[in-house]
Structure 1
Amino acid sequence: MKIHLTSVYVDDQANALRFYTEVLGFVKKTDVPVGEYRWLTVVSPDQPDGVELLLEPDAHPAAKAFKEALVSDGIPLTQFAVDDIDAEHKRLKQLGVVFTQEPADMGAVITAVFDDTCGNLIQIAQPK
């Protein structure tokens, strides 16, 4: 068994696709209309056949409440690995990304947290 797909709840799929591709650097993998929404996934350009991230609409009331509670408590929804957190932090800040936690030493990793503009906090981490 292996992880094939995971998701983030987003409030606007078009905005999410722009942010996750143009800002974060992922590439679109799948884009299929499903009613008023889309089955919309992105992947790492380094692993085009790797784990897909589904940009899932947060239309269900529980999804909205879940996202709001996590953000209110400052808890990231998910984490992405980076090779050089200082370089990635600098690159993202130059693109206007808002960080709620600057890079911080957390023992075995260095982490930072940003707002994905879609209602989520996302953590990036670099193993030491």
Structure 2
Amino acid sequence: MKIKLANIFVEDQNHARQFYTETLGFIVKHDIPLGAFQWLTVISPENPDGAELLLEPNENPIAKTYQKALFEQGIAAVVFMVEDLDKEFQKLSAKNVEFKVQPMTSPHGKFAIINDTCGNWVHLQQET
């Protein structure tokens, strides 16, 4: 068993595509029109055959409530692993990304939390 697809709810798919590709550096894998929305997934350029992240519209009231509650409580909706958190911090800071938590050390390595501007906190993790 392996993880091939995970989702994150977003307020606007076009804005999410821009943030996740232009700001974070992911690549669009699928962009399939589905009525007013699309099946929109992104992948890491470092692992093109790895897991896909579905940027799913939060149009369902339950999804909207869930996403808002996570955000208001400061809970990250997704965790991304990075090789060098300090380097990512510099790169993302230069792109004016909002950091809820700047890089800090924990028992499991270094981490930071950013605002994806799509209604989510994103946890960045560097393992020790």
TM-score bracket relative to the smaller structure: over 0.9
- Deviation, structure 1 residue 106: 1.1
Task: Identify the residue that residue 73 of structure 2 maps to in structure 1.
Answer: 73
AA partner of residue 121 (structure 1): W
Determine if the alignment matches structure 1 residue 25 to structure 2 residue 25.
Answer: yes
Secondary structure at the counterpart of residue 69 of structure 1: helix
Task: Provide the identity percentage.
Answer: 45
Q: Deviations along 1:2-57, whole A, 9 cap, x unmatched?
A: 10000110010000000000000000100000111000000000111110000000
Determine if the alignment matches structure 1 residue 59 to structure 2 residue 59.
Answer: yes
Q: How far apart are the structure 1 equivalents of 2:72 and 2:103?
A: 20
TM (norm. structure 1) is 0.98
- Deviation, structure 1 residue 104: 1.2
CA RMSD of aligned residues (A): 0.6
AA partner of residue 10 (structure 1): V
Task: Identify the residue that residue 40 of structure 2 maps to in structure 1.
Answer: 40
Secondary structure at the counterpart of residue 2 of structure 1: coil
Task: Identify the residue that residue 10 of structure 2 maps to in structure 1.
Answer: 10
Secondary structure at the counterpart of residue 77 of structure 1: strand
Moved over 2 A (4+): none
Q: How far apart are the structure 2 equivalents of 1:71 and 1:60?
A: 17
Task: Identify the residue that residue 87 of structure 1 maps to in structure 2.
Answer: 87
Q: How far apart are the structure 2 equivalents of 1:71 and 1:109?
A: 23
TM (norm. structure 2) is 0.98
Extract unaligned runs of 5+ from structure 1.
none
